[in-house]
Structure 1
Amino acid sequence: MRGRTRWVLSRPGGSADGARVYCFPHSGGSPGEYVRWAARLPGHQVRAVQTPGRGSRMDEEPFTGMEALVDSLVSQVAFEEPFVFFGHSLGALVAYETALALRERGLPEPRALLLSGTAAPHTLRARPSLRGLAGTELVAAIERVYGPVPAELHEDPELRDLLLTGLRADLEIVSGYRYRPRPPLSCPVTVLGGRDDEEPLDDLGAWRAYTTGPFDLRVFPGDHFYFRECPDEFFAFLDGALAQSAARAVLGPGPVAAAHVLP
């Protein structure tokens, strides 16, 4: 049965006339962070995708491969139109693959894709597998490859083990993900990133080849989690992009060479 009881979280409220924005969290991310965006986007309906091994699904075995995750998601979730996908980091790749899977199944596709904090699939660098690592050994490996983790993961072993279960599964998806050439999508694609993030601007802009529709590249002040650092600018832009989508307007095109970089 295709529904949204386990897979999608949301808060009551939001305008029925606005877009439904389904948010796909980053590696180890909580869907709750994205659900809270509803307070900043009252004209729309914010919904966060909750995969096994997260939140109220903590007792379920998490997915460790992209194909199995996306297949289960599109089999069990009926995305309510008009809808838009927003994905950050790993979530951007999951959002993109989900849009492709919907197209392949002849199901309604997102009105637009907003992809944040990750390079286009064909430009991604290979990541080592962390399979078999646990505890402090896993934390050390994560920091070598992906950068510092929150201090709590060093200080609280019980919390560390709880959070690392889902994070390890997510990073296994990342390390096992491989680009497969497929026809481009037709919906507008907007790529967002932080000016101080490690992702090269050219690799973000390389998403241009993944749609025949309008493309826009927006760069905000900040690092990988720029939307936490400059929320006012980010939510103002996101609100406008969602309003355009709900009104069946196309997102304004922006050539890669002239990316919009906010001061």
Structure 2
Amino acid sequence: MAQTANNPSDGHGQNAVPLTGAGHARTTGRWLIRGPARPGGPRLFCFPHGGGAAAEFARWSRLLPHVEINAVQLPGRGSRLAEPVLTRMDELVAAVVGVLSTGTPYSMFGHSFGALVAYEVTRELRRAGRVLPDHLIVSGFPAPSTPRHEPPIHHLPDDELIAEVARRHGGLSGEILADPGRKARIARYLRADYQILETYAWRAEDPLPVPLTVFGGSDDTIGAEALRAWQRHVTGEITLRCFPGDHFYFRQHKATVLNALAGVVRTTAPADRAA
């Protein structure tokens, strides 16, 4: 569920986001890194996995020429490395909702921990009477109402925390772990994200009136049954798409996954938008 990228240029442990790799991406305020503007095209807000940074998703702009990517950059990592991390879901959701522009057609994509954040942001938008996304795409995460059985790990020492995250989900390269300073930075925001996740308590509300598509990897430990359980959280029928690969299937089959993602975003009718 929570993991850093293998590519060291994805913004982990860096003081600035590498803009050129994202196809002329630009930082907007502190919270968003945007790909090239796509006048008249839909926007896609991307919420990174636990321990992730926005730059990896901003780079998707190169393979999504008709979609404007808005990747959410959480404090304490990437271009916001010097800022304090957030450790509670309610404060994270409130901060994101406060900066999110919902005036033009948009969808949301969240992977793993980011799927939970995107879901809770959408619920908060409904409570605030804001325009909801045209489509919510969640990836690699069980339904929010599913009880968690794994023991908490956010309190573990750095080395133990990183080892347990790697055991659960993989994705940590030896190059990253060989650098003590970088490893300490990674542990800092992994710990913050896992604290949010492990202190999160789902509260029952009416299902969301938003089209929902669920992505997952066929070899992930989070199986199809856990992904189908998202059905209880929306009023309509969900669409489930499984791709070859593990928890980070979208890195292994990027072109295929992004082609499917583009299809979801482009085919949602603006008339479906409702607060």
Q: Which residue of 1 aligns with 2:246?
A: 223
Per-residue CA distance 1:67-106 (angstroms, 9 max, x = gap): 1110121123324420100000000000000000000001
Per-residue CA distance 1:43-73 (angstroms, 9 max, x = gap): 0101100111121111111111111110121
CA distance in structure 1 between the partners assigned to 2:168 and 2:265 by the alignment: 34
Question: Structure 2: which amino acid aligns with 1:40?
Answer: L
CA distance in structure 2 between the partners assigned to 1:81 and 1:23 by the alignment: 16
Task: Pick from 70, 73, 88 the counterpart of residue 50 of structure 1.
Answer: 73
| Structure 1 position 232 matched with structure 2 position 255 | yes
Task: Pick from 77, 83, 92 the counterpart of residue 115 of structure 2.
Answer: 92
SS, match of residue 44 in structure 2 = strand
Range moving further from structure 2, 164-173 or 36-45: 164-173
Q: Which residue of 2 aligns with 1:241?
A: 264
* Correspondence list, 1:148-227, <5 A: 149-227=172-250
| Structure 1 position 12 matched with structure 2 position 45 | no
Question: Structure 1: which amino acid aligns with 2:264?
Answer: A
Number of equivalenced pairs? 245
Q: Is the 8 A contact 1:126 1:175 kept in 2?
A: no
| Structure 1 position 129 matched with structure 2 position 129 | no
Q: Which residue of 1 aligns with 2:21?
A: none
Change (3 A) 1:143 1:238: closer
Q: Is the 8 A contact 1:103 1:109 kept in 2?
A: yes
CA distance in structure 2 between the partners assigned to 1:64 and 1:144 by the alignment: 23
Aligned-pair identity in percent equals: 41
CA RMSD in angstroms, aligned pairs only: 1.8
Change (3 A) 1:190 1:136: same
Task: Pick from 143, 165, 172 the counterpart of residue 142 of structure 1.
Answer: 165
> Structure 1: any 5+ residue segments left out of the alignment?
251-263
CA distance in structure 2 between the partners assigned to 1:223 and 1:143 by the alignment: 13
CA distance in structure 2 between the partners assigned to 1:41 and 1:240 by the alignment: 10
Range moving further from structure 2, 34-43 or 228-237: 228-237
CA distance in structure 2 between the partners assigned to 1:177 and 1:127 by the alignment: 14
Q: Is the 8 A contact 1:119 1:206 kept in 2?
A: yes
Question: Structure 1: which amino acid aligns with 2:270?
Answer: R
Q: Which runs of 4+ in 1 moved over 4 A?
A: 144-148
Q: Is the 8 A contact 1:152 1:160 kept in 2?
A: no
CA distance in structure 2 between the partners assigned to 1:38 and 1:140 by the alignment: 32
CA distance in structure 2 between the partners assigned to 1:67 and 1:127 by the alignment: 22
Structure 1 position 248, deviation (Å): 2.9
CA distance in structure 1 between the partners assigned to 2:73 and 2:191 by the alignment: 16
Per-residue CA distance 1:85-129 (angstroms, 9 max, x = gap): 000000000000000000000111111100000010122423433
Change (3 A) 1:229 1:63: same
CA distance in structure 1 between the partners assigned to 2:158 and 2:231 by the alignment: 40
SS, match of residue 94 in structure 1 = helix
* Correspondence list, 1:8-47, <5 A: 8-13=32-37, 15-47=38-70
Q: Is the 8 A contact 1:136 1:154 kept in 2?
A: no
Q: Is the 8 A contact 1:189 1:211 kept in 2?
A: yes
User: What TM-score do the two structures reach when normalised by structure 1?
Assistant: 0.87
Q: Is the 8 A contact 1:10 1:48 kept in 2?
A: yes
Q: Is the 8 A contact 1:208 1:215 kept in 2?
A: yes
Q: Which residue of 2 aligns with 1:105?
A: 128
Structure 1 position 141, deviation (Å): 3.6
